[in-house]
């Protein structure tokens, strides 16, 4: 048996990349690799990249530049780039950084073992195809090692929406949903290994339409199937599109006890003019009516959103419409960004808003979101919520976990252990977390 080799993976971006990195590590585990927390002693460095943020490709090239010294000192060190930047840049990565040994797109990483073998033979390996085979079926089964109490589980990939600002349809491809039986098998395996909460992932997760025993299943039907797994206590999903919040999914939020009262539902803008230019296919009014229906089903649900400020041609009036929508909805949290161009997307060719206006608008929007977040957190004080403990805290006898509403909660409870799901009385609201005591 060959000697164990060390694998260092750096993950950028969304939860789906976190899941993908786990599966990449498992795929390379069959080649004799085990993970290390430092690139300094690695036999392979793998950057799992994201193309969503500003200047994503340049940041990857900068990161690669930091590894030149390691590569020079150890020529046998293999360096790979995976994920969405790999898909978008392809051969350009190897041209600009010849020290890179392999480049693999997010739909092809099940081929990593054979690609790694080619690099060991002195070849370069590039695969940015959209293969017909199901990568999840080609991957080795997950190892049976114990897991922490929470896990991500990808159920859907790709997007057919073609928002004018987004590269996902080009880097992740068209919408594809995994068959329900394979998801349920993976979920049961996770629960057997200690997982009590599963977050279902997809670029457009509520468009899920995977094959089931009696035809395609909706996300709500999949959630109800997961609800029947003994030992699985919590179900979440992200990220959703307003146009795919179906009636049965809204109903599930009100009737499925394991589906947590938290929903990330991006709107991006409150201006109908900008929404149309974004190709979002919904209006501010239709989004607000949808929120009303969701809250009617689950009145205590905590909502999160995404916002882009400074989208091409956005005026101050357009931005104020976004602020008005935020005031109406009252978000518990949100992700907000200044618009930045993505080459190849329609919005990249349009008249751009000046940087100072973008910065000013972002600061104002974030200040409003922060006030709303803090007000909702403060309102939690005195309430009893269930907390799933994920790790010890910094103080002796302290545990840290997540509430039903995805708040981070610090609890002084010397008896609690990782994986416990216990009622907690909230006694204090902090900047980004809550503090509680055993109820």
| 84 in a labelled binding site | yes
Per 3-state DSSP, the chain is made up of helix, strand and coil in percentages (nearest 5) of 40, 25, 40
CB-CB contact of 275 with 283 (8 Å): yes
All residues at 6 or more sequence positions from 28 whose CB lies less than 8 Å from its CB, including other chains: 7, 44, 112, 113, 116
HEC profile of 41-106? HCCEEEEEECCCCCCHHHHHHHHHHHCHHHHHHCCCCEEEEEEHHHHHHCHHHHHHCCCCCEEECC
Strand 78-83 and strand 262-264: the pairing is unpaired
Which residues does residue 428 pair with via DSSP β-bridges, in sequence order? Answer: 435
| 166 in a labelled binding site | yes
Angle in degrees, CA 169, 172, 174, rounded to 5: 55
Which residues does residue 429 pair with via DSSP β-bridges, in sequence order? Answer: 434
| 163 in a labelled binding site | yes
φ/ψ bin of 216: left (φ > 0), alpha (ψ from -120 to 50), beta (otherwise): beta
φ and ψ at 314, to 5 degrees? -65, 125
8 sits in which H/E element: strand 5-11
- Measured between alpha carbons, how far is 101 from 99 in angstroms, rounded to an integer? 6
- Measured between alpha carbons, how far is 260 from 240 in angstroms, rounded to an integer? 15
- Measured between alpha carbons, how far is 23 from 146 in angstroms, rounded to an integer? 15
- Measured between alpha carbons, how far is 372 from 82 in angstroms, rounded to an integer? 37
| 256 in a labelled binding site | no
| 50 in a labelled binding site | yes
How many CB atoms sit inside 10 A of residue 122's CB?
7
Residues at the annotated binding site for [4Fe-4S] cluster? 14, 50, 84, 159, 163, 166
Residues at the annotated binding site? 14, 50, 84, 159, 163, 166
């Amino acid at each position: 048996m060959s000697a164990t080799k060390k694998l260092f993976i750096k993950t950028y971006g969304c939860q789906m990349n976190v899941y993908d990195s786990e599966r990449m590590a498992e795929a390379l585990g069959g080649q004799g690799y085990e993970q290390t927390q430092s690139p300094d002693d690695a036999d392979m460095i793998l950057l799992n990249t994201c193309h969503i943020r500003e200047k994503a490709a340049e940041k990857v090239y900068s990161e690669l530049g930091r590894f030149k010294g390691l590569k020079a000192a150890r020529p046998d060190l293999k360096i790979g780039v995976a994920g969405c930047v790999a898909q978008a840049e392809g051969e350009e990565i190897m041209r600009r950084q010849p020290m890179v040994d392999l480049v693999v797109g997010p739909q092809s990483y099940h081929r990593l073992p054979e690609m790694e073998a080619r690099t060991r033979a002195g070849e370069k390996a590039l695969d940015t195809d959209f293969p017909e085979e199901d990568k999840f079926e080609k991957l080795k089964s997950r190892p049976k090692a114990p897991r922490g109490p929470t896990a991500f589980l990808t159920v859907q990939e790709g997007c057919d929406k073609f928002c004018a600002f987004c590269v996902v349809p080009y880097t992740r491809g068209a919408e594809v949903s995994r068959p329900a039986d394979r998801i349920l098998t993976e979920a049961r395996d996770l629960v057997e290994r200690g997982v009590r909460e599963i977050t279902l992932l997809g670029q457009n997760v509520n468009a899920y339409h995977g094959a089931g025993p009696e035809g395609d299943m909706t996300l709500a039907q999949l959630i109800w199937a997961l609800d029947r797994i003994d030992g699985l206590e919590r179900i979440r999903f992200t990220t959703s599109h307003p146009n795919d919040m179906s009636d049965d999914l809204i109903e599930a939020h009100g009737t499925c006890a394991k589906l947590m009262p938290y929903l990330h539902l991006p709107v991006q803008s409150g201006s109908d003019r900008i929404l149309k230019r974004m190709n979002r296919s919904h209006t501010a009014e239709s989004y607000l009516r949808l929120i009303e229906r969701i809250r009617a089903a689950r009145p205590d649900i905590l909502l999160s959103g995404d916002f882009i400020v400074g989208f091409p041609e956005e005026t101050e009036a357009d931005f104020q419409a976004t602020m008005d929508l935020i005031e109406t909805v009252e978000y518990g949290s949100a992700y907000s960004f200044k618009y930045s161009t993505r080459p190849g997307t329609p919005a990249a060719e349009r008249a751009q808003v000046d940087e100072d206006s973008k910065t000013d608008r972002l600061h104002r929007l974030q200040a409003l979101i922060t006030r709303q977040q803090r007000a909702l957190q403060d309102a939690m004080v005195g309430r009893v919520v269930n907390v799933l403990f994920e790790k010890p805290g910094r103080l002796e006898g302290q545990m840290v976990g997540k509430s039903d509403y995805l708040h981070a909660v610090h609890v002084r409870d010397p008896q609690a252990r990782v994986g416990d799901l216990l009622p907690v009385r909230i006694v204090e609201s902090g900047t980004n977390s809550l503090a509680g005591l055993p109820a």
